[in-house]
Amino acid sequence: MRWSWWKKMCCSWNSIFPYRRFLSEPLRFERNVKTPFQDIYIREKLVYNKHVFRKKEDIMKSVQNDMTVGSPMKMILSFTFPIFLGNVFQQFYNMADAVIVGKFVGTKALAAVGSTGTIMFLIYGFVVGMTAGFTVLTAQKFGAGDMQGGMRRTVAGGAGILSFLIGLFLTVTFMLFMKPLLHLMHTPSDIFADAYKYIMIVSGGILAQMLYNLLSSILRALGNSKIPLYFLIISALLNIVLDLFLIIVFQMGAPGAAIATVVAQGISGVLCLIYIMWKIPILHLKKEDWHVGGQIYAIQLKIGLPMALQYSITAIGTMMVQSA
């Protein structure tokens, strides 16, 4: 009996060298092993696991703000304030176009750009609301820690494919029906040509706008609302520079302002894409992430389309008033 106890205490490889087991099986612990070395094993096991989980926490903090720690009010304000500023800067595109066109082209060109403001607000509201709705499921999966089978699939197959298809549909629809829409809104004949050219170019760049808003919504779903704001500010400033360049140097008028807007929006989307590829490895998509079930599509459409209507309802009401 004594020899049996001594053998268990001194001759067990896992008891004498407890590191061996948790180096090969770091998350496994057999509670039925009773030896004097068990206390050492438990202490070292906890230290090792704490180190593993700390590394995981560092990875999570690199892509998000931990909104479960600290003052709730402070976390909410630090997250929502960049979103508020982003919505303000989103309006700078049309405002900058109107100011620069009015100063360097003329009053008719200014009126042409201004007459399309409601349609631009409609496009902006629909795109922002839809992409924000599509990424609600992404935020839920990320918060639940479902990275492999859930979160990346909502990004790739759900939000990515749906945004592309709906963006393409919106582009074709607006470009086909833009002229009747301008007539319905009683656009004056002397500014109709400039207004039509301007808004047609903007409509042709819906996918560029969709790219930025989708990627920025994905970043916000991971708790990062500051990076999208930084890229949006860069885009707004670039839009002003391109406006001045195309209007003053190339004398392109209102169409030049529209081209500047589309290019600036596309660059902001590309910057978000580069940031994700460089800084957020958990969003690096694999082949299996593109295999998405119909349930994910259904949930994202169920959330995204009502939010798109909610964000664009004001513009729809304004257009109805103009058409009366």
* Rounded Cα–Cα distance for residues 205 and 93 (Å): 13
Q: pLDDT tens digits, residue range 124-146?
A: 999 999 999 999 999 888 888 78
Q: For the chain, 324 residues long, give each residue's pLDDT as a single digit of tens.
A: 454 544 444 444 344 344 334 333 444 434 444 444 344 334 434 443 444 444 444 445 445 566 666 788 888 888 889 999 988 888 788 788 889 999 999 999 999 999 999 999 999 999 999 999 999 999 888 888 787 667 888 887 778 999 999 999 999 999 999 999 999 999 999 999 999 999 999 999 999 999 999 999 999 998 899 999 999 999 999 999 999 999 999 999 999 999 999 999 999 999 999 999 999 988 888 888 888 878 889 999 999 999 999 999 999 999 999 887
Shared domain for 52 and 82, answered yes or no, is no
Shared domain for 38 and 179, answered yes or no, is no
Q: Tell me which residue has tokens 């009401």.
A: 317
User: Which three-class secondary structure state does DSSP give residue 156?
Assistant: helix
Helix residue ranges per DSSP H, the chain: 2-10, 13-16, 18-24, 38-63, 72-90, 92-104, 107-115, 117-134, 136-143, 152-153, 161-184, 189-204, 206-221, 226-244, 253-279, 294-323
Tell me if 213 is assigned to some domain. yes
Q: State the pLDDT at residue 275.
A: 95
- Domain count along the chain: 2
Q: State the pLDDT at residue 8.
A: 45
Q: State the pLDDT at residue 75.
A: 84
Q: Are 113 and 254 in contact (CB under 8 A)?
A: yes
Shared domain for 242 and 316, answered yes or no, is yes
Boundaries of domain holding 232: 72-323
Domain boundary among 40, 60, 80: 60
Shared domain for 147 and 27, answered yes or no, is no
* Rounded Cα–Cα distance for residues 149 and 123 (Å): 33
Q: Are 78 and 65 in contact (CB under 8 A)?
A: yes
User: How far is CA 92 from each of CA 100, 121, 175, 179, rounded to the nearest angstrom?
Assistant: 12, 12, 23, 25
Q: Are 104 and 248 in contact (CB under 8 A)?
A: yes
Shared domain for 76 and 53, answered yes or no, is no
Shared domain for 250 and 188, answered yes or no, is yes
Shared domain for 49 and 86, answered yes or no, is no
Q: pLDDT tens digits, residue range 82-131?
A: 999 988 888 788 788 889 999 999 999 999 999 999 999 999 999 999 99
Shared domain for 100 and 230, answered yes or no, is yes
Shared domain for 46 and 152, answered yes or no, is no
* Rounded Cα–Cα distance for residues 213 and 167 (Å): 11
The distance of Cα 41 from the centroid of its chain, to the nearest Å, equals 45
Tell me if 67 is assigned to some domain. no
Reference 213, options 308, 299, 142; nearest CA is: 308
Shared domain for 33 and 86, answered yes or no, is no
Tell me if 65 is assigned to some domain. no
Reference 264, options 110, 89, 102, 83; nearest CA is: 89
Q: How many CB atoms lie within 10 A of CB 208?
A: 21
Tell me if 198 is assigned to some domain. yes
Longest dimension (CA), the chain: 107
Q: State the pLDDT at residue 322.
A: 84
Task: Please measure the distance between the N-terminal and C-terminal CA atoms of the chain and give it in whole angstroms.
Answer: 100
User: How far is CA 216 from each of CA 58, 213, 284, 292, rounded to the nearest angstrom?
Assistant: 22, 5, 16, 22
Q: Tell me which residue has tokens 């607000």.
A: 121
The C-alpha R_g of the chain, in whole angstroms, comes to 28
Shared domain for 161 and 121, answered yes or no, is yes
Q: Tell me which residue has tokens 């760049």.
A: 205
* Rounded Cα–Cα distance for residues 95 and 80 (Å): 23
Shared domain for 34 and 113, answered yes or no, is no
Domain boundary among 60, 85, 101: 60
Tell me if 251 is assigned to some domain. yes
Q: Tell me which residue has tokens 């082949």.
A: 287
* Rounded Cα–Cα distance for residues 152 and 125 (Å): 25
Tell me if 54 is assigned to some domain. yes
Tell me if 66 is assigned to some domain. no
Q: State the pLDDT at residue 247.
A: 94
